[in-house]
Structures are given as C-alpha cells and as structure tokens.
Structure 1
Amino acid sequence: MVDALCKAGRVEEAVDLVHDMGFRGCPPTSFIYSVLVHTYGVEKRIEDAVATFLEMERNGIKPDVAVYNALITAFCKVNRFQNAFRVIEDMESKGISPNSRTCNIILNSLISIEEYDEAYKIRDGFESVEVHGKETVCPTMHTFSVLINGLCEKGEVSRACVLLEDMIEKGIRPPGSTFGKLRQLLLKEGREDVLEFLVEKMKNLIEEPLWD
C-alpha cells in the first residue's frame, strides 16, 4: 500500500499510513522505509529522506542495503557525492557490504553529469561483492560502456583502453558499438598495435564479430 501510494505521488498519505502502522503496534519494515527514502530522493527532498532514515534507526529497525542504496541515490540526485560516500562508510562500519547496485548508483550519477574523470578515479574503489552467495562484478557492462563511450567523446582514448582491458579481465564482453567506437579512434590515431592487443585479450569472450 505504501509503495502504491508513493508511486501515485501521494507521499504524504503514505507517510501518514506508516505512522498509523506504528501506533497500531505494527511497525513498518525496512522495505517500507526504503520506499519512502527512495521516493523522497526522487523528489530531491533530501532532508525528508535523511529524517526518515534516522526515524527508522530510532525505531530500532536495522537498515539493510536497500535502504542505504535509497539514501545514497537521494544524495546523488542533488550531486552531494561526499555525503553519499559517508553513507557507504557508515554501512560498512555496521557490517553491511555495498552491492553492485551501490556501485552503479555512484558511477552512473557521476556519468550523468559528465564527471567522467571522477568516475574513472573511483571505479577501483568498488570491488566484486557477493550477492546471494554469488560474486557480482561491479561496475556492470552498462556502466563500463557508458564510461568508455564518454571518455571516447572526450578524446581520452588511452583511458578508454584501460577501462576496456579491465572490463575484459572481469569477463565482461563489451557491446559491439562500444568496441567499434574505440576501434575507429585507435585506427585513426595509427595505434593498430593497441587494437591488436585488445582483440587478443578478447578472444576468449568473442562469440561473434564485435563490429560490422
């Protein structure tokens, strides 16, 4: 019900419902709080998002990674990345590991405002993490591709090559469009040796041509 109200834009009604749940001896779950924090974040109501998170902790409900990700998203929506990183530090101090979504929230937010340099610098700050017992590679193919394409647009071909190599080593096959763009730039710069090196690295990942 809370989720439906938030999706319908009836946030205040959702908040009243959550408070009623508490009065009736049926405390809201971490999922319900994550919905509220996420909704406030989407609406860029950062103070409300933080207040809801703190209320959750006061009520003795331990936030999970979904709630933390919702709060991180809220800060990223208004480009308050230092606050987002402090949230990550807080969750780690409480024994909650960031997941692949945490990583992509940060990187995609930086990429969306064309902060490619910052995204490039912090990408190694996120390591592969386990989700439901399985290792999840972070960043994902989409994040890698957007970052590589952005660096290509800026003419930073060498950095794009480093990212592509990193992508390959993580076992992620680059989309044909991404590799094709980088290939054209390498050929234009006369760096056939680098192109040959990357193609060799990709041989185990290739099932079909990477470009037309």
Structure 2
Amino acid sequence: MKMELRCITLFATPSIFPRYPISFLISSFYPHFPKRTNKPSIYTCSCFSIFQIGTTKSLENLPNSYNKSFMEYPIGKELSLEMYSEKISHYCKKGYVDKAMSCISEIQALGLCPNLFCYLCLIEGLGNVGRTLEVEMVFQEMLYLGLRPNIVVFNVMLRGFLRKGLYKLANRALRVMEDLGMCKNQETLEIFLDYYVSGRRLSDTWRIIGDMKRKGYQLNSFAYSRVIELYRDNGMWKKAMEIVGEISEMGVPMDRRIYNSIIDTFGKYGELDEALKVLVKMRREEIVPDIMTWNSLIKWHCKAGDHMKALDLFTEMQDQGLYPDPKIFIILISQLGNLGKWDLLRENFEKMKYRGHKKSGAVYAVLVDIYGQYGKFQGAEDCISALRAEGVQMSSNIYSVMANAYAQQGLCEETVKVLQVMEAEGIEPNLIMLNILINAFGIAGRHLEALSIYDHIIENGINPDIVTYTTLMKALIRAKKFTKVPELYQHMELAGCTPDRKAREMLQIALMHLQPI
C-alpha cells in the first residue's frame, strides 16, 4: 500500500503538470477569446468523477457518426465485462475516446470493476489524441482500484508523454517503474530512442543504443532506421549510407522502415534519382510503399521545384489505393500556389473527388481556401465547421495541418483560434503545435509573443526540440534581435540538442550582423 501511495504522489505533484493551459497564454494576447472554465481537477481520485471531467463532451452534442456503435448487440442482452472491453478497444482505436469513457462509467454503474485491458486501451486512446492530463488521472484510478500496471501500460504512457515533449514526466514514470520492480524492455528503450532522434539529441541517442547493446538487444530495423535519420539530420548523409552497408553485413532484413529512411535521406540531400531507384528496388523485393514513402518522395520533389513529378507521384499514390495524408497537402498547395498554378490545384481536387476521397478532398479544399484562392470561408471556425459537415473527424493531425497553413501565412489570430478550438475539444497542444504557434508569431514579426510561447514550453516541463530553437532563432533574426540568437543557441546546446545545418547558418547570420563594421 505504501508503494502504491508513493506512485500516486509522483503523478500528482503539481510541478509536473502544466501551470497554465494554452488557452490562458492565448487569452493574455487576445483577451476577447473565452477561457476554459471547466478544467479537470488533477487531484480527482473518485472512481466516478475521473470520467466526468470538463473535457468530456455530451453524447447528444456529438456528430451522428460519433454515436454509431461499431458493434451491435441484441436488444435486451446485458453486456458483459468482456463485451465492454471489446467495445472500449474499438472506440479507442477509432479515436472515440469519450465514448470509451462512457463505457467505463457504465461498467462501474453496474457494480463491476474495469479490468487492466480496459485501462490500457483508454490510456493509449487518450495518449493518441494528446490528452495527457487524463492519462495521468486514469493511471491514478488504476492504482486506487488496486490494479498493478505492467510494462505494456508504462510503455503506452511513456510514448504519449514523449510525443508531447513531456520528458521530465516520462522520467518520473520510469522511476515509478523502478519502484514497482520493473525493468525497461526493448520497446521502452526504442521509445526513448525515437524521442532522442526526433529531438536531434546525439549523445542521448548513442547512450540508448549503448544500453540496448549492453542488455543484449540486437538492433532491429527500427533502431537502424532511426540511426540513419540521426546522421541525415546532422548533415552526415554519407555516414548514413555507410549504416546501410552495415545492416547488410549484420543480416538485418531490409524492410519498409529502413527503405523509407534511405529514400528520405537521398531526398533531403537532393539525390532524387537515387531516391526513385530505391523505390524501384522496394517494389522489386515486393515491399509495398506506404504513406510515409510517398510523402517523402512528393515532399522532396516539391522542394526541388519539380512539381510535375510531385503531382505524378501524388496521383500514383492514390492509384495504389492510399488516402492522401493532409500533411502533404500543405507542401503541394504552398509550392503550386507560389507558382500561380491554381488550375493544377483545382484539377487535383477534382481527381480526388472522382476517386471517392471525399473527406481528404474536403481537407484539401479548406487548405486551398486558407492559402487565399477560393475565399469561401471567413476564418478558422468556418473551416472547421465545413470539415465537420463533410464528416471529417477532427484530430490533432488535422488541427496541426490547419494551424500550420495559417502560420505559414503569418495569420496569428487564426492560428490561435485553431489551437483554442482544439483545446476545447479536449486535445492538449503538443510541442509540434506550440512550434507552429512560434512560427506564426515569427512570420508576423511578433517576436515577443514567440518568446512567450517558448517560456510557456519551458515553464510547463516540455523539452524544446531542434525545431523549437531554429524557429525561434528565425523569429529573432526577422525582428533584428541578433544579440539574443547566440544566447538561444547556447541554451539549445546545454539542453542536449545537436545543432543542425539550419541552426548553424542562423547563428552565423546573427554573428555577422553583430560584428562591428
């Protein structure tokens, strides 16, 4: 019992929770925006009240598709715990977390106790939609009910925390694991490896790889692909290609993950012909390209100015039966829009509708509108309403794509509105969203607001990544605040982020302006 209480205390420490939600920060810039008044209590430990917090929406207010059950049961048949578990699993996989929470409440109302599988599904579902505060409360609920979490539960929590950049909270979870006598397994180490590579933390990445080797875990395709990406992002693409040779020597099978990393590496350094050769090799070995493969090829052809080849690849991807990723829309629309190729964008939209990609087409049309071609919608709220009317389920991915589109136009108010609507839906802004907000303020020349977002990130225990620092340095250079750039660069190095080529270039620009004439 003492051990359980200690675990609860670790996760209920006020210092590890965000002191202010993003809506508080936004309202300090824009007082006319309403604040959230029904925040959940982080100390709630009642079995029932945890699932009745303010972010849970009323089922009557949800779209029709939200209320349709994925599994029909005979009328009058009492649902068993097993049936409820299956329903919860289905809802969480589809992103209908509030519906899953309602099932938990129904289980408890029947006098039953949700099992470990129910909580695991719920924790994973909440983590996937960025509702990490509720993840912590559900974890406390488990402990309160006497359920002992296993390594699978901890790995799901760690992945959710690190996805949002909550590095300190993830480390606290590791300490709870140790207190419960659990050891990190290979998946745990791979979760941290993924986080360190994404954050360009070179020394931490090699430390994790060393830990994996010491524990006797053989590096698999996931680990090797992330090492390739690490070298790629630090400007050592030839070294990345040497890793490919090492993979062959070690007898590790070349799978889709590794091929995607190689394609992305070639693309980033302008070797587009080589990237296409890798695509051909993949198919020859009967490895089917996935959405990541196509996104990478389309992105780098766009950035190289070969927009016709990018559109060909976009069409080929759809011919393979894959739904377009909204993230790639921004690249296509911005590149073609800058060239004035609005007729091609419209033609592309008609092709998507013809293929039956109605929801993807709706997102595409909204993004084209944001970039100023159609002028159909008045603002962020109208765009979101239009997407919902088309049956698009709003997710953190869709919100981030919309926010990024507004940010690239320097439309700070609309970017903020997207974030506020997202938070009202119970989706907590993650580091990616906060980086987008920094970019919006930077493009608009409002460096003080950009710095405030950075302070908000630090104060709330979120670890900035290389994108945070480079975006903020770019904002400072735009505002001609050159003296702050070297200071920020030093903070980045002290935080363990390895500077990339872009960061080094911006430092040189700032130092050049600081030199006496």
**What TM-score, normalized to structure 1?**
0.70
CA distance in 2, matches of 1:56, 1:123: 30
- In structure 2, what is the equivalent of residue 160 of structure 1? 345
Match of 1:179 among 369, 380, 384: 369
- In structure 1, what is the equivalent of residue 302 of structure 2? 111
- In structure 2, what is the equivalent of residue 188 of structure 1? none
Q: Tell me, what secondary structure is at the counterpart of 2:300?
A: helix
Task: Give 5+ residue unaligned stretches, structure 1.
Answer: 130-134, 185-204
Q: Tell me, what secondary structure is at the counterpart of 1:126?
A: helix
1:46 lines up with 2:237 in the alignment: yes
Pairwise CA distance, 1:128: 5.4
Q: Tell me, what secondary structure is at the counterpart of 2:231?
A: helix
8 Å CA contact retained: 2:294, 2:313? no
1:8 lines up with 2:201 in the alignment: yes
Q: Show CA shifts across 1:30-83 (max 9, x none).
A: 111111111111123222112111211221111221111111111111011111
> Residues 127 and 157 from structure 1, CA distance in 2 versus in 1: closer, same or farther, beyond 3 angstroms?
closer
> Residues 82 and 15 from structure 1, CA distance in 2 versus in 1: closer, same or farther, beyond 3 angstroms?
farther
Q: Which amino acid aligns with 2:369?
A: F
Higher relative contact order structure (alpha carbons within 8 Å, sequence separation ≥ 6) = 2
- In structure 2, what is the equivalent of residue 67 of structure 1? 258
* Percent identity over paired residues: 18
Q: Which amino acid aligns with 2:329?
A: F
8 Å CA contact retained: 1:144, 1:163? no
1:92 lines up with 2:283 in the alignment: yes
Pairwise CA distance, 1:160: 1.6
Pairwise CA distance, 1:12: 8.7
Q: Tell me, what secondary structure is at the counterpart of 2:373?
A: helix
CA distance in 1, matches of 2:341, 2:234: 35
CA distance in 2, matches of 1:81, 1:113: 9
1:34 lines up with 2:225 in the alignment: yes
Give the number of aligned pairs: 180
Match of 2:210 among 17, 22, 28: 17
Q: Tell me, what secondary structure is at the counterpart of 1:182?
A: coil
Q: Tell me, what secondary structure is at the counterpart of 2:340?
A: coil
8 Å CA contact retained: 2:297, 2:313? no
Match of 1:137 among 311, 323, 334: 323
Runs of 4+ with >6 A deviation? none
Q: Which amino acid aligns with 1:137?
A: Y
Task: Give 5+ residue unaligned stretches, structure 2.
Answer: 1-188, 376-386, 391-517
Whichever of the two has the greater Rg, that structure is 2
CA distance in 2, matches of 1:11, 1:67: 21
8 Å CA contact retained: 2:329, 2:367? no
> Residues 72 and 94 from structure 1, CA distance in 2 versus in 1: closer, same or farther, beyond 3 angstroms?
same
Q: Which amino acid aligns with 2:276?
A: F
CA distance in 1, matches of 2:216, 2:247: 15
1:76 lines up with 2:262 in the alignment: no
Q: Show CA shifts across 1:174-205 (max 9, x none).
A: 24241363336xxxxxxxxxxxxxxxxxxxx8
Q: Which amino acid aligns with 1:9?
A: L
Give the CA RMSD over aligned residues: 3.1
> Residues 141 and 36 from structure 1, CA distance in 2 versus in 1: closer, same or farther, beyond 3 angstroms?
same
Q: Tell me, what secondary structure is at the counterpart of 1:183?
A: coil
CA distance in 2, matches of 1:9, 1:118: 34
Pairwise CA distance, 1:13: 3.8
CA distance in 2, matches of 1:39, 1:128: 32
